[in-house]
Amino acid sequence: MATVAPDVRTEWVEYTSEGASISAYLAQPEATGAWPTIVMVHENPGLIPHRQDVARRLARLGYLVLTPNLYSRIGGEPPKSDDDLEQRRQIVLATLDEQVHADLLNGVEFLKSRPEADLNRLGLFGNCMGGQKGFYTATHSNIFGCYLNFYGPVIARAELQPDRQERSYLSDARNLSCPMQYHVGDQDPVCPLPHVKLLQEELARHGKEAEFFIYPGAQHAFHGDHGPRYHPEAAELAWQRGTAFLDKHLKA
């Protein structure tokens, strides 16, 4: 069960993005200092307790972490529907790439008023849907020192898109502005390995610094210790690799 460690300070904050008020969860070490900073992008269930717990875990490792609620414009919770496909389509409409990109960058603008955030050491961390949105942001901005991607879809399903056309992020690979580390299970139907291989090849073709880790037997969202697809061994190894990657680029 997620608990707040005594050496971590958390708060809910608000800032303005594209005329909307965005709520965000902020976690940082309790001690005084200017900390390397991470903007974290949540998965499609929203800014759930698990995502808040991950923010606190990172804070315990010496990071300030801002996780914007991408559903702030619609009351803070993901769209609801009795039909799974329709619900997922409404989630896509509520979190369009350009909008999320603006909300994340305006979150960084907000942090400029917080002296405890060292924005010269700024990283990005996306999970599931947030991995996809984070990739878009890392390829449409140049302010991040690294990008940690946990099973972000490479090619989004056509039936979920507003125009009913498949949305591929492969063409964005040439614009990746920072080193990336990608983690995925070999049983992940949302991020099938052929798609992952295409992304790996495209990044290599453009000379981008990226490393990929594939976890045997792991499904989508394997790092979520609150869910049915939690894979303890893969989750622990991905966390070790991911935090070492963050440390390399943000603490060196």
Q: Which tokens go with 67?
A: 């996780």
CATH of domain 8-250: 3.40.50.1820
Name the residue ranges covered by the structural domains of the chain. Answer: 8-250
Q: pLDDT tens digits for 11-69?
A: 999 999 999 999 999 999 999 999 999 999 999 999 999 999 999 999 999 999 999 99
pLDDT at 2 over 50: no
Alpha-carbon distance of 171 to 150, in angstroms, equals 20
Alpha-carbon distance of 214 to 188, in angstroms, equals 10
Beta carbons of 36 and 123 less than 8 angstroms apart: yes
Percentages of the chain per state (helix, strand, coil), in multiples of 5: 35, 25, 40
Angle in degrees, CA 28, 33, 35, rounded to 5: 55
Best CA proximity match to 183, nearest among 213, 146, 226? 213
Burial of 49 (0-12, 13-18, 19+ CB in 10 A): exposed
Q: pLDDT tens digits for 83-117?
A: 999 999 999 999 999 999 999 999 999 999 999 99
Mean of the per-residue pLDDT values for the chain? 96
Q: pLDDT tens digits for 178-199?
A: 999 999 999 999 999 999 999 9
**Helix, coil or strand: residue 162:** coil
Best CA proximity match to 81, nearest among 91, 69, 73, 95? 91
Cα-based distances in Å from 228 to 101, 109, 128: 30, 37, 15
Angle in degrees, CA 140, 143, 149, rounded to 5: 70
Angle in degrees, CA 8, 21, 250, rounded to 5: 40
